[in-house]
Structure 1
Amino acid sequence: MKVILLAAGYATRLYPLTKNQPKPLLKVGEKTICDHILDKVMVLKDVDQIYVITNDKFYSHFCEWREEKEEKGRIQILNDGTKNENDRLGAIGDI
């Protein structure tokens, strides 16, 4: 099973908290939002690949996050190429 996590938004409503940090990598408790989601996904038996779609602004943040994961071999970070909220693709465009 393939899992797609859409994380290409710019979270402007959460500024200044998300000005230099993507919302999915903000911590809730001791873990990032992405980690909480990943915990739920990894319970599923047939997950063989996890695609995280992000934007160019936060691509490196997600690559660093991936390197810390045990499951990093199954996680692929994809850059949708957008650099700001004005050229974002939206959920359908990112898929």
Structure 2
Amino acid sequence: MSETKFTETRRFQILGAIRSDVSYADAAREAGVSPSTLRAWLRRGRRDSDGPYAEFAAAVEREKQAAAEEPLSEAELVRILERQARHGSI
């Protein structure tokens, strides 16, 4: 049986990236998982009524909401622009 990618470290990395208003795809990549893996975790969390996946999905929603309400710092803005430039999005 393979080791799970759904580790506490990865979850914290993803939550931190989302708090910085990074896309889900980029947050997943920063944590070393594919965007489809993150989407699967979120689907499972929304489907489950409790447990680690449900807690994670709820935390992602809270972080996304907090990011939307909070202005970006200069460092966050630079980080986002640098990432987008590297991916050819600017």
Is TM-score (shorter-chain normalized) higher than 0.5?
no
Higher strand share: 1
Higher helix share: 2
Rg larger in 1 or in 2?
A: 2
